[in-house]
Amino acid sequence: MLRRLATFALSLSLLVTAASPALAAGFAAPPPDTAGAPISIEALRAPQDLRPALNDAMRARLRKVLADRRDRNLRAFAAYVKRGSFPHNFENDESLNVWRDREGHLCAAATMISRSGARKLVNQVAKTDNFIRLADVTDGALLDWILTSGLTHAEVVAIQEPFMGREEPMRPRDWRTAEDARLRTRYAEVQRMLASDRAASLDAAIDALATRPDLVAKLIR
């Protein structure tokens, strides 16, 4: 037992040394905002030469924890899509990320995060940064959630699909109907992408998490 603890402590100390800002940036930066564009699984994989080392036992433990979290989060996303009660962009006639709209509807990412138990975090974001782009998140509680979610940063960004505002002379009812149909199509595409290569995505999520030994320690404690 003592020997395993000593090995774990040494591994974490090595990770602290290895986790340079440049390395962390390599995992934190998702692809640019490309609403409506095809999603490639290649964009979700960390480059091989940037992957930090974890011993087999630590990696196996992280995979088990992250796989469970990933599955729970994706079930929450699937339930959100099935329910079909989406927010709308009442702010402008362009594309905009809306965390919670004027009618109280949360976006897909916010709903997923809230259902994971982080409701206070979701409410705080709605109050302080309601038009947040998760693609721009590089630190703080939201990044910690992403790193421990079992999803890659890019996958969470894909789930946070921005909303199209109403263009004149489209009537409000027609706009809502068209936008809801667009979102259902987009979310179906995202769901297919998320299911297409689960193993590779988990590997990428583990690699990104490995740049944060503090979070690794909490998950495998």
User: Stretch 143-164: mean pLDDT, rounded?
Assistant: 98
Within a domain: 84 = yes
Scan for tokens 């030469």, then name that residue. 49
Scan for tokens 């421990």, then name that residue. 148
Question: pTM score > 0.95 for this model?
Answer: no
Within a domain: 23 = no
Contact 56, 64 (CB under 8 A): no
Return the percentage of the chain with pLDDT > 70, whole number: 76
Within a domain: 160 = yes
- The beta strands (E) that lie in the chain are given as 95-96, 163-164
Residue 220 banded pLDDT, cuts 50, 70, 90:
confident
User: Stretch 32-48: mean pLDDT, rounded?
Assistant: 45
- How many domains would you assign to the chain? 1
Rounded to whole angstroms, how far apart are CA atoms 10 and 24?
20
Rounded to whole angstroms, how far apart are CA atoms 109 and 161?
8
> What Å distances lie between residue 10 and 16, 174, 214, CA to CA?
10, 60, 14
The distance from CA 201 to its chain's CA centroid, rounded to whole angstroms, is: 12
- 126, two tokens: 């709605």
pLDDT tens for 54-89 read 888 999 999 999 999 999 999 999 999 999 999 999
**Segments forming the whole domain that contains residue 178:** 59-220
Within a domain: 75 = yes
Which is more confident, 9 or 208?
208
Contact 129, 100 (CB under 8 A): no
Model pLDDT, residue 52: 54
pLDDT tens for 102-153 read 999 999 999 999 999 999 999 999 999 999 999 999 999 999 999 999 999 9
